[in-house]
Structure formats: C-alpha cells, structure tokens
Homo-oligomer: A and B are copies of this chain.
C-alpha cells in the first residue's frame, strides 16, 4: 500500500474562511428529548444551481461546520465526487453547534447565552431542522444525503424521517448505534470539560470557556481518530525539534506536541458546551430497523478505523438489505484510522461517483 504522509495534513483544513455562510430562521423546536427551543437559526452554505433533481445535503461530523468544501475538500467541490459544478450542494451547521446554527453559546430570548439551559439534542432533531431548511429553500427531493461519523448518523436518520424524499444516502465511517467503547471515549472527553472549574456548570462566559478541559477532550478525540499505524507513519518516536531527550515532564516527542497543538487550537474555534451536546447526541442515537426506507445506500468503512469499526458499517448495510433497500458496503483498506473518511478521495470517492451516477 502506498502511504503519503502529506495526506494527513489535509485534515487541518477543517475551518477556513466562513465564505458565503447564510442564515435561515426555521421556527421553534420541541426537541425529541423533551426540551424546547423558542427559535432556531440555521447557518448554511450552498454551491451550484438547483435543477429539481440534483440536491445533495452534506452533514458534518463532530467538529465540522457548514463549509463542506473545506473540511471535505477531497469529496465536495468542482470535479469532485459531490461535484458542485453539477449538483446543488447544501452544507449546514448542525443544531447544537457553534458555527452559526443555534447552540449553547447562542443567546436565549433573555439575551444571555443558553449555556446550561440548552436542551439535550438528538440526531433526530438535527434532521428535523435540516428538513425545515431544505423545504424553505424549495427543495422537493434529495438526490443524496452524505456524511461521515456523526454526519453519517444524520444521513442515516434522513432516510428514516425523510422530511423530503431521499433517493440515496452515503454513510461513511459511521454507526447506527454507539457501542460501550465509543460512549466511553465520549464520556472521558465530557468529564475533562465538566471537571474543569471554568466550565461552571455550563454557564461560563462565551469568551472565557474551559479551555484546558476542552483541549484534553480534543486530545482524547484525536487519540481515537488515528490508528496505531497512522500514529507510526505520522510520528513514530520522532522528537520535537531536538536531537536528544531533555528528561522533563514537558513535550519530548512530536506526537505529544501534535496532541497539545490540536487540543489548544480546537479551543479557539469550538464551544465546549457544543462538544458536550454533540457527543451526547451520538451516544443516544440508535437505529434498529430501516423498514419503510425508500433510499439506496452506499456504506463505507475503513479497515484501521477502530473508533467506528467496519462491522458497524456492515450492520447498517445488512439492516438496509433486510428492509428491502439497495445497499452496498465498501470496506476500504487504508492505514489512516477514523480520519480516513476525511482523507480518502480515491476509494470512497470513486464509489460515491458511481453511486451518484446510477
């Protein structure tokens, strides 16, 4: 297998300029878990021209946003599998997020941030809000809904709720239900935030969030995004800008510097409460049947993705077949771990291109 270490760098490009972000008001929401949001704003972006049968909705993972041509630049763009010169592509920031859509850092009607008052959100709520937006935009059918990780859960849920008809769903590196290990990683991340004194029960000032807890949470995330092999390719035992150990508690190895850098950088663009809300949403999610779905499925997984192991994708595929749907599961042998869904254009990209042309 040919390994290109430079590939890993692509994963840095997840939050570029806000570009042509737009906003829509989609009304009040009675949340699936019981809470109420008096009004919901959705941040979204579109690319291309709508022709009635070419709409593709792209759903982001835990740390993403509406800018799908940024964080999924190998999949979404002109000439890419989700070809913005042929399709009308919509990216939205998920409900509960911190990139323009209503979330814990948004102001409640009293003019103060929701903070601890923000309700628990489910994947079902995210899809409800996206459905309202797409109806407002005059979209009557989705050619495809696509997403990886948490985005794959939204894509899966779209084929169940189908607020507008969904012809195809591309679900990569995802799951119909978190297992105990996935919940465990999320819980360690949540505790890192919630045990930071600066979290203050969720009611911190927006410009003074629990940065250390959030940074630790993101480090735990990055540990789960790479595989052992990916860590070895990327870092090995290389030292951080030195020839010999300093023998101190601080950074010695490159991998240590990387984790601290990723953790700290994340705190400049992401709200700690949004991470809590998203991580709960994916832990709660569980699909047991796709009976009634009218969609075709392309499910992709990666051999070294131990966070979302291929057998979880196979379970989605089998569930789709049992529901009488057309489905394919593509298991891809790449060394990049969970991050592969962001990095791989070649294998999942080719399959997605064919899937969209069928």
Contact = CB atoms under 8 A, between A and B. Distances in A.
Nearest to A184: B255
A237 interface: yes
A180 interface: yes
A280 interface: yes
A274 to B, nearest CB: 12
Interface string A260-274: 100100000000000
A226 interface: yes
Contacts of A220: 188, 220, 223
Contacts of A247: 33-35, 120, 284
User: Quick one: copies of this chain in the complex?
Assistant: 2
Contact of A253 (B252, B276, B283, B309): B283
A346 B164 CA distance: 57
Interface stretch (A17-25, A39-47, A62-70, A228-236): A228-236
Interface residues of A, number: 59
B286 A237 contact: yes
Nearest to A198: B197
Interface string A116-154: 000010000000000000000000000000000000000
A202 interface: yes
Given A223-B185, A247-B34, A248-B120, A253 B180 contact: yes
Given A120-B247, A180-B232, A228-B181, A252 B283 contact: yes
Interface stretch (A165-173, A211-219, A325-333, A350-358): A211-219
A228 B306 contact: yes
A85 to B, nearest CB: 40
Contact of A191 (B33, B185, B219, B280): B219
A294 interface: no
Q: Which of A183, A222, A235, A263 has the most CB of B within 10 A?
A: A183
